[in-house]
Amino acid sequence: MRPGSIIYFLREAFKSLSRNRLLSIATISTVAISILILGFAVLLTINAGALMQDLESDVEIVAFLDKKLTKSQITDIKQDLTAVSGVKSVKFVSREQALAKMQEKYGGNEYNLKETLGKNPLPHSYEIKADDPHNVPQIAGQVSKIDGIYKVNYGQGVVERLFKVTRWVRIVSIVFIVLLVFAAVFLIATTIRLAIFARRKEIYLMKLIGSTDWFIRWPFFIEGVFMGAVGGLIAILILAAGYSSLIGHMDTMFFIPLVTSPKILRNIYIGLLVCGATLGVLGTWVSLNRFLDV
Amino acid sequence: MLVQFYNVSKIYPNGVKALDDISLKIDRGEFLFLMGPSGAGKSTLVKMLFREELPTRGQIFLASRSIVRMKRGDVPRLRRNIGIVFQDFKLLENKTVYENIAFAMEVVGTSSREIKERVMEVINMVGLKGKENSFPGELSGGEQQRVGIARALANRPLLLIADEPTGNLDIDTSHEIMELLFDINRIGTTVIMATHARELVKPAGKRVLMLDKGRIVADNPPGELVL
């Protein structure tokens, strides 16, 4: 491509933008609305994902120990537990700590559990976290085989159901986003087709005069990128303003943890901007090819 | 030999047979009228020269290159050697006379210095000096067609194709356009003109190819036309 051509392409692209102002605004608005919806869906998905991960990471195994174990036996068991593959951490909880926890959870200040029960009925235990919460049931099976452990508890039944739910939430949100992207491409392509249709005579003429397809495409692509990026930028500004005010209010209203990491949010916004520009080009590509077939 | 048709037939997908076994040779520097009633196949024949249509059967050569076997990527180069003049002018309404002609050179990637020189040259050639900043809407039909011809000439084509160039013009204006086309032919450009207008063809004394129902029914050499 000659430098002269690049200047020509840019000039043509921006001439066309201002000449077809109404259609340009329509396209930019279409992109902005599409990206806004898409961005909303992405934020929702990311937050749902974070919530799911939060719930999943709460899943842990509690291994209760036989009551008549010596201190060294208890230490040996810890080593056995750490050796089980997939185990991330092992934490010892003494019977006293366990009772204190229970007191805090159920007794509050009104009942003294120790007095009510007469003596501490709780055994020593280990709290085990897995590298991947999905492996918890399998790790629990192995842990239960270790000598000195009489019972293993990880919320059997509930955990399996939780994982099923989180899996479906993830699948549904990905499908939803893919469908949204398709809808956006279609919508934007339709709007851009209007703009190109208005210039079909010019394109036909260029073809008959002997323009190459790429020479005709470039100005349209530049236009598409520009409209896509501007539309994307508008959507991101709205989205960012909305989300940050939501973060402000959520803290005081609900207990749902929102994703606030600036790095993640910045990546999402950059991704959406790229997405807008790509949609602009994709829409142009889809619409333009039909008119180039002369 | 500039143009050669060998046993060319064209059947459209809807079954219409537009051309039926056409063989034809056109020399460099010739002026050829293509005559015949509507639907005789004039437009189809003309469109094959710049590959807007491909033949169903047969071979076509322009300057010894096969148009039929040509790759898609080579079509732009073929078309740069051909200037096309349309019945409805096909000028861009939002561009001035100058810009309409410059457009034809820009879209094939000519440098702006060369464009400036050449555009004024062809504007003078078609007799539109002083009108370069007018918009097509401000011009008469004859003037608009002169812009169309200037645009077709801008890239110095080997072959000028005019498909009913006077179809939208009155008789006096039509004669002026004919004179212009003869002038262009005289300085060396091969011209093929499809037309209905006997009154333009008869006094010209040029070669006339008569088409009817997709076949060549007469090929009269220059000066021998009896209509």
Q: pLDDT at residue B73 above 80?
A: yes
Of the residues B156, B188, B207, the one at which a domain ends: B156
Q: Which residues of A touch B (CB under 8 A)?
A: 2, 4-5, 8, 19, 201-202, 204-212, 215-216, 294
What does the pLDDT read at residue B115? 95
Closest to B170 (Cα-Cα) out of B199, B193, B205, B192: B199
Predicted confidence band of residue A2 (pLDDT cuts 50, 70, 90): low
Which amino acid is present at A121?
P
Yes or no, beta carbons of A210 and B92 under 8 Å apart: no
Closest to B20 (Cα-Cα) out of B196, B213, B174, B220: B213
What are the residues facing B59 on neighbouring strands? B6
pLDDT mean over A166-189: 87
What does the pLDDT read at residue A23? 86
What are the residues facing A126 on neighbouring strands? A63, A92
What does the pLDDT read at residue A107? 66
Give B169's DSSP letter. S
Of B80, B104, B106, the CB nearest to A8: B106
What does the pLDDT read at residue A199? 85
- The answer on A66 and A28 residing in a single domain is no
Chain position carrying tokens 């440098």: B111
Question: Where is average pLDDT lowest: A198-207, B8-17, B28-37?
Answer: A198-207
Q: pLDDT at residue B227 above 80?
A: no
Predicted confidence band of residue A241 (pLDDT cuts 50, 70, 90): very high
- The answer on A121 and A78 residing in a single domain is yes
Domain that holds residue A109: 60-154
Tally of domains in chain A? 2
Name the residue with higher pLDDT: A57 or B23: B23
Q: Is B90 on the interface with A (CB under 8 A)?
A: yes
User: CA-CA distance, B174 to B185, in Å (whole number)?
Assistant: 16
What does the pLDDT read at residue A101? 83
Q: What interface predicted TM-score (ipTM) does this complex get?
A: 0.88
Domain that holds residue B125: 89-156
User: CA-CA distance, B60 to A275, in Å (whole number)?
Assistant: 47
Q: pLDDT at residue A162 above 90?
A: no
User: CA-CA distance, B183 to B124, in Å (whole number)?
Assistant: 13
- The answer on A184 and A50 residing in a single domain is yes
- The answer on B138 and B185 residing in a single domain is no
Of the residues A136, A154, A172, the one at which a domain ends: A154
pLDDT mean over B137-163: 96
Give A258's DSSP letter. P
For B34, the 3-state DSSP assignment is strand
Of the residues A154, A185, A216, the one at which a domain ends: A154
The residue of chain B nearest to residue A206, with distances taken between CA atoms, is B107
Q: What is the CATH number of the domain that holds A124?
A: 3.30.70.3040
- The answer on A190 and A171 residing in a single domain is yes
Q: pLDDT at residue A253 above 60?
A: no
CB B120 within 8 A of CB B48: no
User: CA-CA distance, B49 to B60, in Å (whole number)?
Assistant: 8
Predicted confidence band of residue A252 (pLDDT cuts 50, 70, 90): low
- The answer on B147 and B171 residing in a single domain is no
Yes or no, beta carbons of B109 and A206 under 8 Å apart: no
Tally of domains in chain B? 2
pLDDT tens-digit map of A111-159: 777 777 777 888 899 999 888 888 888 888 888 888 888 888 888 788 8
What does the pLDDT read at residue B226? 60
Chain position carrying tokens 């902005």: A32
Q: How far is A5 from chain B (nearest CA, A)?
A: 7
pLDDT tens-digit map of A70-87: 888 888 888 888 888 888
- The answer on A166 and A277 residing in a single domain is yes
Q: How far is A294 from chain B (nearest CA, A)?
A: 6
Task: Calculate ∠ Cα A167-A172-A173, nearest 5°.
Answer: 100
- The answer on A119 and A169 residing in a single domain is no
- The answer on A189 and A267 residing in a single domain is yes
pLDDT mean over B63-87: 94
pLDDT mean over B214-218: 94
What does the pLDDT read at residue A254? 60
